[in-house]
Structure 1
Amino acid sequence: MWPWEHLAFAYVLYSLFANAVLGRSPTGREAIAVVLGSQLPDLVDKPLAWTVGITETGYSIGHSIFVAPVVCLAVYAAAAQRSDRLLAGAFALAYGSHLATDIYDPLRESSRLDPRVVLWPLESPPTGDHGGFVDHFVLYLVRYVNELLTGGVTPSVALQLGLGVAVVSLWLVDGAPIAADGYRWLRGRLRA
């Protein structure tokens, strides 16, 4: 999945939880925890493999189901000290959703179940690609854009566009967390 797809999936999950269980929309702080949790596995693993060359693939330490509980417990401990355990819950839900959608990507017609992406150090998916972080990002982005432009409006593209509109709509209905907080902060600064 692309970073924005991981974020969208995680945000929808947390928004549904917040609205159904807590009876309110996600706060800006919770949305930030969702952003961080939904991106952390790739922010750790992709540079380690593609730039530094410490690991073989972009699915290692950050994607490991053996490391994820330790990371989530550390986040919980930090959030508990601030008496805001919901931040840890938002982070853990987003982190877990990233791992789940890397095992199986529901947005891709060609996706198949691949648990190897979360079994590091016992197992990892094979890799045959080389180059740095920018090389990989550009290669995958060009492939993605090419697929969108040359394939026409396939059911997969229509689904992705529809889901994108739905997620942005949900975010707006939730009060545009993070953006609304930034706007209020800026407006307060300008008045002062």
Structure 2
Amino acid sequence: MWPWGHAAVGYLLCALWVRARYGRAPTAGAVLPLAVGTQFPDLLDKPLAWTFGVLPSGRAGAHSLLVAVPLLALLWWRVDSAAARRAWAGFALGYLAHLATDGLYPLLDGDFSGLAYLFWPILSLPPYDESAGILAHFAAAELTAALLAEVGLFAVATVVWAADGAPGLRTVGRWCKRRAAVATAALSGR
């Protein structure tokens, strides 16, 4: 699945979960860690495989439940406040949604061996189209029904996110504004 597909599924799951549990839209405290979680396995594994050759595949390491579960347990163990629990829940939901959605296409094809990445290194990795890098990966993309479905899903998730008040957007805007002020001050010698 492409990054926007992971983000869309993550946000829609988060919105459903928060509405069902709390009767309201998600907040930035869950949405920003969710956004990181939906991309986390690829942000680790793809550079480690494609650029540095440390992993055998761009879907190994952080894509394995043998890494994800202990990592999430360790992070939970460090949680010490309600805000941290919300952040952990958002990250965990995004991370686990990523792992599940990477298995969607093999499942739809009836290829259960395509899920072996979930138990790497105990199980051998399934064949996976590797790339010479992230830019080459994007450049090689083909306009398929699956890609269009993911773009459509992203559009739906964007509409839901906007209807929810665009949680996280103001937080990111304030953070960018502070960073710009710090950079400006540093450049002017203050």
Q: How does 1:138-157 map to 2 (within 5 A)?
A: 138-144=135-141, 147-148=142-143, 156=146
Q: Cα deviations across residues 47-95 of structure 1 (Å, max 9, x unaligned)? A: 11111111111122101111111111122233x2133312212211111
The answer to whether the aligner puts 1:81 opposite 2:80 as a matched pair is yes
Aligned partners of 1:57 and 1:125 also within 8 Å: no
TM-score normalized by structure 2?
0.79
Return the structure number with greater relative CO, CA threshold 8 A, min gap 6: 2
1:49 equivalent to 2:49? Answer: yes
- Once residues 17 and 128 of structure 2 are traced to their aligned partners in structure 1, the CA distance between those partners, rounded to angstroms, is 36
**1:15 maps to what in 2?**
15
After superposition, the Cα gap between the structure-2 partners of 1:48 and 1:158, relative to the gap in structure 1 and judged at 3 Å, is closer
Instruction: State the number of aligned residues.
Output: 176
Q: 2:2–2:150: 8 Å Cα contact kept in structure 1?
A: no
CA distance in 1, matches of 2:147, 2:130: 26
Query: Structure 1's 160 and 55: CA in aligned 2 closer, same or farther, altered over 3 A?
Result: closer
1:18–1:163 distance in 2 versus 1, CA, 3 Å: same
Tell me, yes or no, if the aligned pair for 1:104 and 1:111 is still in contact at 8 Å: no
Unaligned runs of 5+ in 2: 182-190
Hey, what does 1:72 align to over in structure 2?
Answer: 72
Partner of 2:126: 125
Whether 2:166 is the aligned partner of 1:176: answer: yes
Deviation of 1:24 after TM superposition, in Å, equals 1.2
Name the amino acid aligned to 1:136: G
Three-state SS of the structure 1 residue aligned to 2:133 is helix
Q: Identify the range of structure 1 (89-98 vs 177-186) with the bigger mean alpha-carbon deviation.
A: 177-186
Q: Report what 2:29 is aligned to.
A: 29
d(CA) in 1 for partners of 2:109 and 2:139? 18
RMSD: 2.9
Give SS of 2:21's match.
helix
Q: Which amino acid aligns with 2:154?
A: G
Distance 1:178 1:20 in 2: 20
Supply the AA of the counterpart residue of 1:82: S
Say which SS state the counterpart of residue 66 (structure 2) adopts. coil
Once the 2 structures are TM-superposed, how far is the Cα of residue 119 of structure 1 from its aligned partner?
1.6
Listed as ranges, the gaps of 5+ residues in structure 1 are none
Contact conserved, 1:104 with 1:112, CA < 8 A, in 2? no
Q: Contact 2:65–2:119 at 8 Å: present in 1 too?
A: yes
User: Equivalent pairs: percent with the same residue?
Assistant: 33
Residues 116-145 of structure 1: per-residue CA shift (max 9 Å, x gap): 121211221235746xxxx4322321232x
Moved more, 109-118 or 89-98: 109-118
The answer to which of 18-27 and 82-91 deviates more is 82-91
On the 8 A contact 2:18/2:26 being kept in 1, the answer is: yes
Query: With structure 1 as the length reference, what TM-score do the two structures score?
Result: 0.78
